[in-house]
């Protein structure tokens, strides 16, 4: 299974941001309150310090799900204004129903909504996008050879 980090590089950063932004849902916070996660923490307006803490506190290199979760958090950090990160009660990154990362907003906005994103949904959309773009490559060497043959043929005809 390909890592999300690799898939982001394959489709391009801006395309990956659009895909991740479309995968964010805003469930009611009270439905997420009792669930525990592999990593529980707090954020205050920005996720950058949390990402560093997660990387320092968990041997995330051993587990692909945690690497994928961190890759998604990095993209969510970039989307913090459009994703309304400052208004969310918490950010939850989930994989197959298990909460990988759960970060509570220190500012306690009491909006009643949280940011929720599922790792496998993002991975599937990124894979779908890479499959769509792989077949669309222009075969430049073939085009250059074909143009060369046509130009040579045209010059031969003009010479006669």
How much is the pLDDT for 123?
92
How much is the pLDDT for 88?
92
For the chain, counts of helices (H) and of strands (E): 6, 4
- Across 139-150, b (16+ Cβ under 10 Å) vs e yields eeeeeeeeeeee
How much is the pLDDT for 64?
73
How much is the pLDDT for 122?
93
CB 21 within 8 A of CB 117: no
Give which of 121, 119, 77 is closest to 101, Cα–Cα. 119
Tokens describing residue 128: 């779908």
Sheet of strand 90-95: strand arrangement: 37-43, 98-105, 90-95, 115-118
| Segment 30-78, tens digit of pLDDT | 887 667 888 889 999 889 999 988 888 776 554 578 888 999 999 999 9
Residues 6+ apart with CB under 8 A from 158: none
- Structural domain span for residue 97: 4-159
| Segment 2-11, tens digit of pLDDT | 889 899 998 8
Strands 98-105 and 37-43: parallel
Give which of 74, 103, 98, 71 is closest to 86, Cα–Cα. 103
Tokens describing residue 13: 């950063």
How much is the pLDDT for 126?
93
| Segment 97-150, tens digit of pLDDT | 888 899 999 988 888 999 999 999 999 999 999 888 766 666 667 777 888 888
Give Dmax over CA atoms of the chain in angstroms. Answer: 86
How much is the pLDDT for 25?
93
Greater pLDDT, 12 or 32: 12
How much is the pLDDT for 139?
64
How much is the pLDDT for 125?
93
Domains in the chain, number: 1
Residue 57 has φ and ψ, to the nearest 5°, of -90, -20
């Amino acid at each position: 299974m390909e890592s999300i980090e690799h898939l982001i590089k394959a489709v391009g950063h801006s395309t990956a941001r659009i895909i991740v932004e479309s995968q964010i849902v805003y469930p009611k916070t009270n439905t997420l309150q009792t669930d525990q996660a592999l990593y529980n923490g707090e954020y205050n307006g920005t996720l950058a310090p949390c990402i560093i803490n997660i990387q320092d506190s968990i041997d995330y290199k051993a587990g692909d799900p945690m690497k994928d979760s961190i890759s998604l958090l990095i993209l969510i950090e970039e989307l913090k204004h459009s994703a309304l990160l400052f208004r969310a009660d918490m950010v939850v990154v989930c994989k197959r129903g298990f909460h990988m990362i759960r970060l509570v907003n220190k500012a306690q906005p009491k909006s009643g909504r949280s940011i929720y994103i599922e790792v496998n949904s993002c991975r599937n959309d990124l894979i779908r996008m890479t499959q769509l773009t792989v077949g669309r490559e222009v075969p430049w060497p073939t085009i250059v050879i074909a143009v060369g043959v046509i130009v040579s043929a045209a010059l031969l005809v003009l010479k006669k």
